[in-house]
A and B are shown apart, each in its own frame.
Chain A
């Protein structure tokens, strides 16, 4: 089942190859059908998943390269399932949002589906070698997707993304190999390596942790490794920004929970303090920079830096509550920022500008759009009743006992967020209507279809967070036991 889920998009790639490039409708139909199918498989997975059962489920394990004990090893648990569901959902919605792509459509969808396989594989792989392969596979289609269909500075943004991410991942590769070589018998399997990692001396654990952390920190992104993000997010076409913010950033956070923490627990515990400091910097710095933006999309991009700081903060807590908050924040941020990028795209398609000063008074002209923007913005701001609030609250609550000062400072971040979000809403929706937009058309049905599911989920999680928490809590509890031992 997991193999199907992972490689359905790849099958789609081969289908697309058979469709002539000029038949845009057929290309879109194939891509939509394939992403819809992966979404359905993802939902079927959710239906058959048993949250209370310990360990990995739907495990598939085959020997791949026996000479080096490399296995094809997939499995899902409460930590990866929300990520997988987020990926298939955003993968489907962003595919609908891709209908605006009109040049080189065939290549676009080929790279798009390839990207989807890479992302799903990253979340499902339980063999570090396989994980790394999928992790890297994500890079290549993303390079092309930004570089071919991006904005004016697309080439710069694409290569910057590629080099930054690769620079992080080669050190992860060295760390992976070091773990592999320390295992007797050699293995790349994550469950087996957990026993190997914890037995290593603290200094080596910390060194390896840094190797992994560099790769994950660049993906999250953690200050000061964040500079690729504004370029990539701003230059990428709308659906790709959605996937970048919604899924790719989560690969970093997921990596911490799946690999760095359980495999190197002593290092994780000793480095929790610095992690909290970085989290605070992310939250405050991201919010402050977002406040200074005049470009709508850049504002959303920097808000991601700030919001991902809460993931880091929750992770640094080393408590069940903090972990729950961090994981929930990843889901929530995926939904909210995905929605925000879609909304920016909707506006940009109509006005061809993202300059916040150029808007104003849109709420009278396009009420439905304005309503949606309002809800998603307030969700980012952390309004109770929407998913962002629960997630950030849990992160703060979990982190408070361990890092009081850091938590206190992070709360300031919420105030700053309220500042830039309200400022943005004011500049876009309120005030006198700029006469240029007298005839601005309202959001259309297709765009609505991409946004409504995200909206409903945000509200649902905000009102009843247990629907996600119940999925992930048992897995996070066992992760915590792995890190701090049964007594802690």
Chain B
């Protein structure tokens, strides 16, 4: 009975995985991209339906492997949204036409992994889920196998990523040795009790796990893979890697650090504060010198992750709230920015800053869209990115981490410099004489429109999302 019940409760993950496997199995027979995309999108929508139709319970499934609290369900809906947008973006990439059924299959498999990671109740499940996400991400990054850059990016991502996962697994083994359990709630209880565990062993384990997670969300010093991977990967994959795994990664950081290792807060908070400062600063400063827009966005994503970590450090309800809002909004604005990169690459075949010269005159709507995404990333009101920054600053101030707030404030000024660099290219520089208008395929326009609508609406009228987050917060 329990098994049946648990299986039904895991329907979203199962739907994704089944669709993925069907796509991969039938790929040899059926090479058309559109039906494959439709099938993939159908799988995602079905999973979302299954997710939303479930009663929001907090009971552990499969002997304490998985759990689905309202907060987890909220983030999982976000992940499914990312999958849907990435499918549209892939269809909108005119140069990405080969082997799309396998592509979508891998994407959905990765998505299933993301859902598992987000809902993991045991560190073992964290590891298994992350491996599923990672392996498929490596493949997607190197998907353009005839292009050396893509293959190189995939290999780099794989090598660094494997090291990180190994560290995570090693840390998990220390944690088990120290506490005798891998269940997040049981760990928290053991820490609170404090008698039946080896404290110093647990600290080592916790820090190793933290390092593994830091890789997933691209925190300094585990960030170096990101620019190369973003640059070499197909842009839709770069968008996916910058959004999905980060959403799941931050969910994990909140749950593992804020829930399981809450008792160790004095131990992880200080190093994580340093990591946040380094991540913001290094990401922003490095982004200043980029000439490839995908690399620029990669460093911008690193910096954005640094802001979000402030919320993790601040902890408590305000911190978790800020992390949730920022992560969801970050995903939207970053995907919108990548949509624009794809559109420009479709029209010009280029990804360097120069390709954006005079975009406001050749493609006014696209330029306005990109400008909105960039201004939101820069935290300019009344866009959603501004509100996200406000919650993060407020969380930092509320937990008396004034230094973090000030560093973040200074960083958000530095960041404007390179976002404005793109604005300058698009609006201030004259278009090249050969510049002609070229329409992007409708799926891309749909993805851009949807993500931008989110960025604008969540800035002007954030109440629905705020209410949803606040309602889900008590049980992260």
Contact = CB atoms under 8 A, between A and B. Distances in A.
Partners in one complex: yes
Interface of A: 65-68, 104, 107, 129, 132-133, 136-137, 139-140, 143-144, 147-148, 154-155, 158-159, 162-163, 166-167, 170-171, 173-174, 177-178, 180-181
Contacts of A174: 393, 397, 405-406, 409
Given A65-B463, A162-B416, A163-B416, A181 B424 contact: no
A406 B76 CA distance: 64
Given A147-B424, A174-B393, A140 B410 contact: no
Contacts of B409: 170-171, 173-174
5 contacts: A67-B463, A136-B386, A144-B427, A158-B424, A178-B397
Contact of A67 (B386, B412, B423, B467): B467
Contacts of B393: 173-174, 177
B466 interface: yes
Interface stretch (B248-256, B261-269, B375-383): B375-383
Nearest to A132: B381
Given A159-B420, A173-B409, A148 B470 contact: no
A161 to B, nearest CB: 11
Contacts of A170: 409-410, 412-413
B462 interface: yes
Contacts of B423: 143-144
Given A136-B381, A163-B420, A170-B409, 20 more contacts: A65-B463, A67-B470, A129-B390, A132-B381, A133-B382, A139-B380, A143-B420, A144-B427, A148-B427, A158-B428, A163-B413, A170-B412, A173-B393, A173-B409, A174-B405, A174-B406, A177-B390, A177-B405, A181-B394, A181-B398
B280 interface: no
Given A67-B467, A148-B428, A177 B416 contact: no
Contacts of B390: 129, 173, 177
Interface string B390-425: 100110011000000110011011001100100110
A268 B413 CA distance: 27
B360 interface: yes
Contacts of A154: 428
B interface, over-half SS: helix
B304 to A, nearest CB: 16
A174 B413 CA distance: 13
Contacts of A68: 466
Contacts of B382: 133, 137
A427 B193 CA distance: 86
Interface of B: 360-361, 375, 380-382, 386-387, 390, 393-394, 397-398, 405-406, 409-410, 412-413, 416-417, 420, 423-424, 427-428, 462-463, 466-467, 470
A159 B417 contact: yes
A136 B380 contact: yes
Given A137-B382, A139-B380, A180 B394 contact: yes
Contacts of A132: 381
Given A67-B470, A162-B420, A177-B397, A147 B381 contact: no
Q: Sorted from nearest, which 9 A-B pairs have the closest CB atoms?
A: A170-B409, A133-B381, A67-B466, A147-B428, A167-B413, A136-B381, A177-B394, A133-B382, A166-B413
B259 to A, nearest CB: 23
Contact of A66 (B360, B410, B463): B463
A139 B412 CA distance: 15
A128 to B, nearest CB: 11
Nearest to A147: B428
Contacts of A136: 380-381, 386
A225 to B, nearest CB: 14
Contacts of A139: 380
B19 to A, nearest CB: 36
Contacts of A65: 387, 462-463, 466
A107 B398 CA distance: 42
A132 B397 CA distance: 18
Given A136-B381, A155-B424, A181 B397 contact: yes
Which of B387, B393, B397, B428 has the most chain A CB atoms closer than 10 A to its own CB? B428
A31 to B, nearest CB: 18
Contacts of B428: 144, 147-148, 154-155, 158
A66 B394 CA distance: 16
Nearest to B459: A133
B468 to A, nearest CB: 10
A147 B413 contact: no
A247 to B, nearest CB: 19
Nearest to B391: A68
Nearest to A134: B381
A226 B461 CA distance: 36
Nearest to A67: B466
Contacts of B420: 143, 159, 162-163
A181 B428 CA distance: 40
Contacts of B463: 65-67
Nearest to A106: B364
Nearest to B424: A155
Nearest to B429: A155
Contacts of B361: 104
Contacts of A180: 394
A231 to B, nearest CB: 15
A166 B416 contact: yes
Which of A67, A129, A171, A181 has the most chain B CB atoms closer than 10 A to its own CB? A67
Contacts of B380: 136-137, 139-140
A180 B390 CA distance: 12
Contacts of B412: 166, 170
Contacts of B466: 65, 67-68
A159 B360 contact: no
A49 B467 CA distance: 39
B375 A140 contact: yes
A385 B463 CA distance: 54
Contacts of A163: 413, 416-417, 420
A140 B412 CA distance: 15
A370 B394 CA distance: 55
Nearest to A170: B409
A38 B169 CA distance: 65
Contacts of A67: 462-463, 466-467, 470
